[in-house]
Structure 1
Amino acid sequence: MKTAVDKRKTKAPVVPDDVIFIKGARVHNLKNVDVSFPRNKLIVVTGVSGSGKSSLTIDTLYAEGQRRYAESLSAYVRQFLNRMDKPDVDYIKGLAPAIAIEQKVITRTPRSTVGSMTEIYDYLRLMYARIGQTISPISGRVVKKDDVKDVLNAIKVVKTGSKVFILAAFKQHQNRDIREELNILMQKGFTRIYVSAMSRTQKENPIIESTTYHIEDLLQNADDLKTAFQYPENVYVLIDRIVAKEFDEDDEHRLGDSIGTAFYEGEGDVYVEVNGEKLLSFNNRFELDGMQFEEPSPNLFSFNNPYGACPTCEGFSMVLGIDEDLVIPNKLLSLYEGAVAPWKGEKLGLWRERFVKAARRFDFPVHTPIADLTPHQYKTLWDGNQFVEGIHDFFKEVEQNLYKVQYRVLLSRYRGRTKCPECGGSRLRKEALYVKVAGRHIGELSDMPVKDLKVWFDHAVTTLSEYERTVGKRVILEIEHRIDTLLKVGLGYLTLNRLANTLSGGESQRIQLTRSLGSNLTNSLYILDEPSIGLHSRDTANLISVLKELRDLGNTVIVVEHDEMMMREADYIVDMGPLASHLGGEVVAFGNYDELIANPKSLTGKYLKGEYSIDPPKQVRKWKNSIVVEGARQHNLKNVTVEFPLNVLSVVSGPSGSGKTTLVKHILYPAIQKILGEPGEKMGLHKAVTGDIESLTAVEMVDQNPIGKSSRSNPVTYIQAWNHIRDLFAAQPLSKIRGFQAKHFSFNVDGGRCDACKGEGEKIVEMQFLADVHLTCEVCHGRKFKEEVLEVQYKGQSVFDVLEMSVDDAVAFFADEKSIVNAIKPLSDVGLGYVKLGQSSDTLSGGEAQRVKLASFLGKGKAAGKILFIFDEPTTGLHFHDIKKLLASFNALIDQGHSILVIEHNTDVIKSADWVIDLGPEAGADGGSLVYAGKPEGLKKVKESHTGRYL
């Protein structure tokens, strides 16, 4: 189906119902693009980086969908929404409600977890509030409160003909005597007092028989009053009396009213006496074993709500206390070898000696590494027992001596963030943990890996009663659906309480995908920005099946993607290009996979059919020096020892969740930082990091975070080339005549920049209920500088004209100025020749931002010393053509004497490496082992390696 439209036709085309048609899109670098997307299909939009893929999908299609939705709301509601700009497009026909899952850097808040992001935790809260049973920690019985129905059911089973009294305890309130109370009861309409032979207290009952008194008679006869109130705990207000029989509907209504009155009058307690022999008690308070419990409600299980959060850690799961990792820094040592850091020296070492001597009395293994102790043995080390004092007792003694300076110093050395002792890391108040479903509280479910949670859930549903299944049916369905989706996208190894800020980019995007899939929408437009980031080829296949499921529900799924597997499976492909930035912004080719590779204009097609390719290096570099991580055991790493070679390109590969990020980002990177004396994060559990670390001058983590937050930040200022350009303009004859210095050619400080727009080139008019309007500054006409500054020219170009040049154009323009060319040429080398020097950094993609950082290091050359660069999936957002350039940049850095370590799934990068470290064989608990280390060609022969299979 050919659906792209010839731009030369001036007449508005007739648009069929089964397409989404965009006419005249001009957002960012799009060149008046007309394009159609068939509805209810899986569509891939591809093309080189910066060719306009995101501009077309996210900034045009999605932005217009959101704007239309916002405009359908009232002006009052719109003021609370983010203001939305109208994309620069003639019109869009056939647009469905749009949902975008973007490549955003994940949340940094310590409250956000996998459970809250996928909404599974929200549904679990609802499930526990609906069908959870509160279990008393004292007796283990179920806590329940009685209502009118419970009392009514108890009366219904009484033997026919029995006399039944419905009673409320007589209560004498403060500052009132008995006569006053009786008068008030009469005013309320009660006529009788009942003195029961059955005592509701535990005392022996001295009364021989029950008696009924009229309140009016008691008020007139002092002797009767005295007799009746001889034992106040036996006195009740008689609410109603009946003879048991088959009750009809009217009887039940009457009884219900009486019981309700008794609950009110008895302040929550109701007593039912049968034939003067049996006293049944009911109360509508939520209590048992003398304890008052909280009634389950969704907020009780929310750690983001003050009502449910643990009062000690306020829902963060961590408090400031004795940090276990500081007290036992090396868990691979045994207690005998001095694993407990403070138990050293002549005086404090006595604590260790005492523990070692007493250990044989309770069979404690003093020669076993701390990491290999059982949970019970580890707890004994900390808490002690009847034979010996533990680490907690040691710190209690330290706290008693804080008036001495040496003890204050000692305590400060071991204080840090530690698991909350009150809630045990569950983040909830203890009342919430009394509520259980199928024997488990919500904190235990949050600690389970999702794949284990699935197994528990399937079993738990079978143990629920018919009533519980009916009440929780909808909620259980939603939870099961989301758990299944998490498993399908390869995240079964995560736990619900895993912090969002510890996830990789690919994991966080797939979690957002789970949330969208969980809502089961139909007739919608889903736009995904590279969902295969961070996915091993094996997991990409599962992801494609999930996207097809979404399509089969009746949705249009548009994926911005470079993955070859995704393109082969797509129903329709749109190839943007031909190149990037101002050289791109056009639709080069469209159609199915076969049509794309047959199109001679399509650069993507040429790579797919093998006309162009990324060839592995002819010669693999040899290496001598390396860094070794010994005994890595953090998260799922299984005591692995890994050697990382220096002065070569090394790649760490393996399925998602196999431990790559943990090994590189949480152990190797902070360990090198610490050895080199740089501030870094806390290291994961390992024995040692050894090797030629001293040969390095620094370690750099090059991630995809934006290079600047402000609209003024741009590539040329980031790589510090603008200073050279300003100096060049300040050296021109006209500048010297007018007294201009380098600062006059900066748009960040007053002097030469336009005073009206402060160097922004535009003014923003804030509209109350509509999107802000960006108006070109009428003073400088968008040129950012004062007229007299713009009159200073170099080779006929003003300072503003230079900002508008692309990197490649600037390299040619400044050919005579070596310092400027050397500063900006690296941008061209990393494939960013199309970017304008003054392009705002907030319009750069994650991959482009990462390459700008790479260029800044290339520009420093050998002057930077020897650096170990760590890249986390640098091929994100890169086309085959760009990966070729990226690998050339890596080789240039290595030639300057640097070392490169890449966490990567892309097979082109893996086969181009000098050394591959493959982790696995699976994810989560089944991963964390070293499957292979060596040259790429050897990996293909390893049967257990999923990476080898796809190579």
Structure 2
Amino acid sequence: MADRIQIKGARLHNLKNVTLSLPKNKLVVLTGLSGSGKSTLALDTLHREGQRQYMESLGMVTGFVSRPSVDSITGLSPSISVDQHLTNRSPRSTVGTVTEVFTYLRLLWSRIGVRPCPGCGKGVPPSHESAAAAYEDEGDEPREVVPCPHCGTGVPGLVMGSFSFNKPAGACPGCTGLGEVFRAEVPRLVDGGLGVAAGAVLGWHPKATERNVQLLGAAATHYGLDFDASVPVDELDTAQRDLLLYGVESPEFRRHFPGVEPPATVTAGRFEGVVTALMRRYAERIEDAEYREKTERLMVKEECGACAGTRLRPESRAVTVHGLSITDAARLPLDELAGWLGGVRERATGDEWLFAEPVVADLQERVRRLVDVGVGYLTLDQATPSLSAGEAQRLRLAALLGSGLTGVLYVLDEPTIGLHSSDTARLIGVLRGLRDLGNTVLVIEHDLDVLRAADHVVDIGPGAGRDGGRVVAEGTPAQVAAVEGSVSGAYLAGRLRAPISRGRDDADRALTIRGARAHNLKGIDVRIPLGRLVTVAGPSGSGKSSLVLDILGRAARRRLHGAGEAPAEHDGIDGWEALGKVVVIDQEPISRMPRSNAATYSDAFGPIREVFAGRSGGALTPGHFSFNVPGGRCERCEGAGVLSVRMHFLPAVEVRCPGCEGRRFGREVLTVRYGGYDIAEVLAATVDEALGVFAEVPQVAGRLRRMADVGLGYLPLGQPAPTLSGGEAQRLKLAKELGRRAGGSCLYLLDEPTTGLHAADTSRLVDVLQRLVDAGHSVVTIEHNEDVIAASDWLVELGPAGGAAGGALLAEGPPPNARQAPPR
């Protein structure tokens, strides 16, 4: 049928020969427990096959794109996926650059911007000729000089590059357009209690230490110094210490010997210096997210004093359009920027409007789409690495709204992540708008409001992992709600309810945050009772993360552990004496390395490898069962299981290794079995499945059970860390923390831990958090989930909106809609 997508015999991963007919040009929601097979069906089967069929229709060779395990799929349209993974983590990437809104702002400022004359200080408007020419020549450097109409002084013309922090014409030279400067944290680089020869420089390999000791000795001899590598660094004199840290050509060292030339060759002692070498490598690899992540602990990040974090040169910041600089515009929340753009027509002169009209029209449309998808509280200067998964996904969704495409299959992966319930209705309107253009919108979602708004709902289950992969119910929301065997239907119908509150009274002990004014917070005082489950709620952008993570989390790390970044602006925090430890569990990836996975991160893989080595009768060691080192791994793919194939004009494609057929290990290793599984099958197994296999191995079972307790029972042990969602990464961190012995009362801070969880899984997670509180700890969550709010002992609500309209304390106290357990 032309109006249906027909799927027959889908068997990928845990799908159980699924046959399904989905209506086209409708809003279709796939739901079910976490790990039930929703993503496998939507992304790995429908989306991948849609891409493959479309490429074949264009005559492109698709032999490298394997067909999903399915008998047939008919009625597919070209497919576009909008997932949760942020693709651009460069520190130079901002909301403004990835949405191109800042690009159009640069165009507007270069057309009608007024700059101060360096001679008389009065405003110099652009000439008609320069404004018209700039449309055709974006340029990176000004080519013309405009005479000041007041005093005749020549003023450099404006081009788009004048307002780009990625171009020499606009970038602040002090920070090369980053808005931040970095310095090495010497105590984290060098152990002052050790001599250099004994390993004082952290991170130096023994061979590097030996070589650098020789260079230091040769350099010291050149300058007439004695450098004893056995003397602790803290006992070196100033010149020796400056030589070690900053090298022979640095101003710090040269001040001691201004008349002595540096050595001419490396053999004579041209030592670069520990700090100097780190800063040089950091500058060279600033765009490398993995490198930045590894070196973050060695660096201190500060706002650039030259540009006050704006990234631009002072002459670029001085240009205004109707009294507003481009940096001021970039700091406006998007909904406020929309209002300012709406007034440009009234403020503009006739000549200005001639050049501004097409730019303003495009800007208004782009900003409107961003506001419509619920990110109106964001600012253009916010760095994209700081965005949540949900925010990044909604930025991509806003771009799709402007495409005007019809006849497309859009696949969205939980677009409500990070959205307050007040923003969900607007997002539903956006999804319906895509549908009404003549597209099929397929959404993976747990949010009950989205389920109720769908034209067609498919519930996958009934459980997760091997217990999932079947169609439990499908039809309209009302039809699914009526199916007795559907867990999602039971929540839709109200037969299953959210967790109940333990009904704990207010606590005598509390943390009191005074004068919180970071970002948009309005100097508020907030009370956080200790020994309670506390939820901080409010619309997206209302200040929740600023309060809990930037102020409380950083202050707790400094106070309780003597480490971490300085807390954001506030007057003080009282009540620390009752706490012994803080654990901040955010949604940052556990690793960006594909070789890291749930098994390795949880420390379960070590004892698993020991179990398999024991089964080999001494023929193999635990190292043979590692895919990261030579020995037992497949050497053709070096234990990756895949090979990267470079494609002309297209991104590289990963294909299954023909040597090991994706199993990562050599034949000898794969002959060893435990509980009926070889090591490759263990990595492919879910946490719940592995629990059954290793039930008699306490070191493994304990770690796996904690992962199951936080709702990760469906997760394959070998799933690469970069493919984990933010919520999965966070729950994996929580599971690992649960295995550590907390010394004294601990403060747990969690950032939206229910991200990606079905209502049934949320109940399970809340039970884990309640057990932490029962054990005497304090738990503070940032959450939109109304079920978590209702189960909490204490609610802090911020708002009333996001951005500049947020940051106020609306309420604090027991949740008004808390459902408590009946008296016993």
Q: TM-score, normalised by structure 2?
A: 0.75
2:736 is aligned with 1:856: yes
**How does 1:899-910 map onto structure 2 within 5 Å?**
899-910=778-789
Q: Is the 8 A contact 2:501 2:818 kept in 1?
A: no
**How does 1:62-211 map onto structure 2 within 5 Å?**
62-67=47-52, 87-105=68-86, 107-132=88-113, 136=117, 138=120, 140=122, 142-143=124-125
**How does 1:286-685 map onto structure 2 within 5 Å?**
286-288=146-148, 289-318=151-180, 417-421=302-306, 423=307, 425-433=309-317, 435-466=319-350, 468-620=352-504, 623-685=507-569
State the alpha-carbon separation in 2 of the partners of residues 818 and 146 from structure 1.
Answer: 78
Of 750, 760, 764 in structure 2, the residue corresponding to residue 881 of structure 1 is 760
Q: Is the 8 A contact 2:539 2:802 kept in 1?
A: yes
Q: Is the 8 A contact 2:174 2:304 kept in 1?
A: no
Partner of 2:233: none
State the alpha-carbon separation in 2 of the partners of residues 659 and 729 from structure 1.
Answer: 49
The alignment partner of 1:51 has SS state of: coil
1:685 Cα deviation after fit: 0.7
State the alpha-carbon separation in 2 of the partners of residues 70 and 474 from structure 1.
Answer: 35
Q: Is the 8 A contact 2:639 2:664 kept in 1?
A: yes
* 1:97-146 Cα shifts (integer Å, max 9, x gaps): 43332212575433222222332212222233445456645363645658
**How does 1:717-796 map onto structure 2 within 5 Å?**
717-732=600-615, 735-736=617-618, 738=619, 740-761=620-641, 772=653, 774-775=655-656, 777-778=658-659, 783-794=663-674
State the alpha-carbon separation in 2 of the partners of residues 472 and 731 from structure 1.
Answer: 74
Q: Is the 8 A contact 2:144 2:156 kept in 1?
A: no
How has the CA–CA distance of structure 1 residues 435 and 88 changed in structure 2, closer, same or farther, with 3 Å as cutoff? Answer: farther
Of 810, 815, 818 in structure 2, the residue corresponding to residue 936 of structure 1 is 815
Q: What amino acid maps onto 2:596 in structure 1?
A: S
Q: Is the 8 A contact 2:634 2:666 kept in 1?
A: yes
1:54 Cα deviation after fit: 2.1
Q: Is the 8 A contact 1:147 1:284 kept in 2?
A: no
Partner of 1:716: 599
**How does 1:906-925 map onto structure 2 within 5 Å?**
906-925=785-804
* 1:859-902 Cα shifts (integer Å, max 9, x gaps): 33x46654322111111111111111111222233344433211
* 1:418-468 Cα shifts (integer Å, max 9, x gaps): 4444x5554334554565444444333223333332332222212334554
State the alpha-carbon separation in 1 of the partners of residues 731 and 412 from structure 2.
Answer: 22
Highest Rg: 1 or 2? 1
The alignment partner of 1:59 has SS state of: helix
Q: Is the 8 A contact 1:449 1:492 kept in 2?
A: yes
2:798 is aligned with 1:816: no
The alignment partner of 1:56 has SS state of: helix
The alignment partner of 1:121 has SS state of: helix
Q: Is the 8 A contact 2:533 2:780 kept in 1?
A: yes
How has the CA–CA distance of structure 1 residues 658 and 623 changed in structure 2, closer, same or farther, with 3 Å as cutoff? Answer: same
Q: What amino acid maps onto 1:317 in structure 2?
A: G
How has the CA–CA distance of structure 1 residues 403 and 453 changed in structure 2, closer, same or farther, with 3 Å as cutoff? Answer: same
Partner of 2:225: none
Q: What amino acid maps onto 2:655 in structure 1?
A: H
State the alpha-carbon separation in 1 of the partners of residues 97 and 85 from structure 2.
Answer: 17
1:663 Cα deviation after fit: 0.3
State the alpha-carbon separation in 2 of the partners of residues 97 and 443 from structure 1.
Answer: 40
2:574 is aligned with 1:690: yes
Partner of 1:260: none
Q: What amino acid maps onto 2:168 in structure 1?
A: P
Of 44, 49, 65 in structure 1, the residue corresponding to residue 34 of structure 2 is 49
How has the CA–CA distance of structure 1 residues 744 and 660 changed in structure 2, closer, same or farther, with 3 Å as cutoff? Answer: same
* 1:33-91 Cα shifts (integer Å, max 9, x gaps): 3434333322222111112222222333333444566667898xx99xxx966544455
How has the CA–CA distance of structure 1 residues 550 and 932 changed in structure 2, closer, same or farther, with 3 Å as cutoff? Answer: same
1:656 Cα deviation after fit: 1.6
Q: Is the 8 A contact 1:135 1:436 kept in 2?
A: no
Q: How many residues align?
A: 692
Of 25, 34, 41 in structure 2, the residue corresponding to residue 40 of structure 1 is 25
Q: What amino acid maps onto 2:751 in structure 1?
A: D
Partner of 1:704: 587
The sequence identity of aligned pairs, in percent, is 44
1:635 Cα deviation after fit: 1.5
The alignment partner of 2:587 has SS state of: coil
How has the CA–CA distance of structure 1 residues 441 and 707 changed in structure 2, closer, same or farther, with 3 Å as cutoff? Answer: closer
Partner of 2:135: none
1:834 Cα deviation after fit: 3.3
How has the CA–CA distance of structure 1 residues 433 and 72 changed in structure 2, closer, same or farther, with 3 Å as cutoff? Answer: farther
How has the CA–CA distance of structure 1 residues 497 and 416 changed in structure 2, closer, same or farther, with 3 Å as cutoff? Answer: closer
Q: What amino acid maps onto 1:558 in structure 2?
A: L
The alignment partner of 1:937 has SS state of: coil
Q: What amino acid maps onto 1:287 in structure 2?
A: P
The alignment partner of 2:812 has SS state of: strand
The alignment partner of 1:822 has SS state of: helix
Partner of 1:30: 15
Gaps of 5+ in 1: 1-14, 151-282, 322-398, 405-414, 941-951
1:573 Cα deviation after fit: 1.6
Q: CA RMSD in A?
A: 3.7
Q: Is the 8 A contact 1:127 1:476 kept in 2?
A: yes
How has the CA–CA distance of structure 1 residues 626 and 620 changed in structure 2, closer, same or farther, with 3 Å as cutoff? Answer: same
State the alpha-carbon separation in 1 of the partners of residues 175 and 707 from structure 2.
Answer: 47
* 1:588-627 Cα shifts (integer Å, max 9, x gaps): 3222111111223322111110122223135436644332
Q: Is the 8 A contact 1:486 1:492 kept in 2?
A: yes
1:661 Cα deviation after fit: 0.5
1:291 Cα deviation after fit: 3.5
How has the CA–CA distance of structure 1 residues 776 and 466 changed in structure 2, closer, same or farther, with 3 Å as cutoff? Answer: same
Q: What amino acid maps onto 2:48 in structure 1?
A: A
The alignment partner of 1:286 has SS state of: strand
How has the CA–CA distance of structure 1 residues 454 and 722 changed in structure 2, closer, same or farther, with 3 Å as cutoff? Answer: closer
* 1:650-682 Cα shifts (integer Å, max 9, x gaps): 111112222110001100001011112343123
Q: What amino acid maps onto 2:737 in structure 1?
A: F
State the alpha-carbon separation in 2 of the partners of residues 542 and 20 from structure 1.
Answer: 28
How has the CA–CA distance of structure 1 residues 317 and 724 changed in structure 2, closer, same or farther, with 3 Å as cutoff? Answer: closer
Gaps of 5+ in 2: 133-142, 184-250, 257-299, 820-824
Q: What amino acid maps onto 2:715 in structure 1?
A: V
Comparing 560-569 with 799-808, greater Cα deviation is found at 799-808
2:726 is aligned with 1:846: yes
Q: Is the 8 A contact 1:445 1:453 kept in 2?
A: yes
Q: Is the 8 A contact 1:625 1:692 kept in 2?
A: no
The alignment partner of 1:45 has SS state of: strand
Q: TM-score, normalised by structure 1?
A: 0.66
Partner of 2:277: none
